């Protein structure tokens, strides 16, 4: 009997290119400008880190995912020791230029 071979589903027209991801404990994460030409996804297992965009502080908390579009200028800071997950990625095709911003997804209702 031949071994089964996985055949991926047909393409949906969107390609995610994962550039970098990790989960690590950070004790230092102080930057004035983290603008880059790729998306960022953040989730922290511990409170203590925050980002600032357009004068608004957003805490990175265990019940939140934070998504930041490419070319969004923001600052980052941390107090103490924080378990921090991040992923940097691109999407193709890029349906136009995403507007800069910080998008928060509250995970609490998903539990």
Quick check: 27 and 48 in contact, CB under 8 A?
Answer: no
Domains of the chain: residue spans and CATH: 15-96 (2.60.120.280)
Q: How confident is the model at residue 106 (pLDDT cuts 50, 70, 90)?
A: very high
Q: Can you read off the two tokens belonging to residue 67? A: 């998504």
pLDDT, tens digit, 9 for 90 and up, residues 33-62: 999 999 999 999 999 999 999 999 999 999
Q: Rounded distance, CA 45 to CA 86, Å?
A: 11
- What is the pLDDT, as a whole number, of residue 15? 81
Residues with Cβ within 8 Å of residue 65, at least 6 apart in sequence: 41, 42, 43, 104, 105, 107
Quick check: 39 and 15 in contact, CB under 8 A?
Answer: no
**pTM reported for the whole predicted model:** 0.83
């Amino acid at each position: 009997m031949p071994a089964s071979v996985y055949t991926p589903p047909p393409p949906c027209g969107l390609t995610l290119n994962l550039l970098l991801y990790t989960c690590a404990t950070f004790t230092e994460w102080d930057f004035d400008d983290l603008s880059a030409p790729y998306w960022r996804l953040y989730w922290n297992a511990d409170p203590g880190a925050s980002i600032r965009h357009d004068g608004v502080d957003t805490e990175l908390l265990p019940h939140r995912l934070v998504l930041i579009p490419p070319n969004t200028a923001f600052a980052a800071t941390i107090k103490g020791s924080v378990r921090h997950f991040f992923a940097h990625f691109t999407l193709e095709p890029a349906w136009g230029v995403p507007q800069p911003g910080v998008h928060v997804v509250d995970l609490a209702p998903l539990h």
